[in-house]
Structure 1
Amino acid sequence: MKICTKNHHHWSLLDSLPEDKSGAGKFKCAGCAYEKGLRAGKNKEESLNIELETLHESQSMTLQHKSPHAAFAKGYLDGISNF
């Protein structure tokens, strides 16, 4: 899997996410998961699938262990709330 090169590690809105140091979400980019959830929320998608295997890996120390599941859910909520 590719390494994420976006500047998600500067996003303070992801600071409060819980950590996920095990399982399928380990090392996945929480920023990419947030963006994916945000798009789904903006589109009011009713069938949700985070598809962890499609997310880039994160090497950022601030996001490396953040839960991509929680990031996706936060993005979805922000998407339906703000658009």
Structure 2
Amino acid sequence: MSICLREHRYDPFFSRLPLDQGDFGRHKCAGCAYERGYQAGLNRVSILNIEEQVNLIAHSQAGSVRHKSPIVAFAQGYADGLFQYYASCP
């Protein structure tokens, strides 16, 4: 089990996410989930298994990502990635 040591753990952006301490996302890093979702959206991945994606990310209980929903973080990242994709396309 890997532990996230990235600076995004302390980004106040993640403070707005809902709390989630259950199911398959327990103690997973919401920052890593957001970044994974963002890349999926930016690449317009159309078939996703959220549980599988969340299981691949590191654990974290630090800072702003502590007990925050990695599922919502992934979904927000995915949406932001899609917006960025379309903003950069003519």
TM-score of the alignment, normalized to the shorter chain, above 0.5: yes
User: Take 2:2 and 2:68, find their aligned partners in 1: how far apart are those partners?
Assistant: 18
Question: Is residue 26–residue 64 contact of structure 1 (8 Å, CA) maintained in 2?
Answer: no
User: Sequence identity, in percent?
Assistant: 45
Name the TM-score, length of structure 2 as normaliser: 0.84
Structure-2 residue corresponding to 1:69 = 71
User: Take 1:59 and 1:13, find their aligned partners in 2: how far apart are those partners?
Assistant: 16
User: Take 2:20 and 2:74, find their aligned partners in 1: how far apart are those partners?
Assistant: 13
- Runs of 4+ in structure 1 displaced over 6 angstroms? none
* CA distance 1:61–1:12, change in 2 (3 Å): closer
**Structure 1 residue identity aligned to 2:22:** S
Number of residue pairs the alignment of both structures matches? 83
Asked which structure has the greater CA Rg, the reply is 2
Superposed displacement of residue 8, structure 1: 1.3
Structure with the higher fraction of residues in helix conformation = 2
Name the TM-score, length of structure 1 as normaliser: 0.90
RMSD, matched Cα: 1.2
User: Take 1:3 and 1:9, find their aligned partners in 2: how far apart are those partners?
Assistant: 11
Note the residue ranges of structure 2 that are not aligned, 5 or more in a row: 86-90
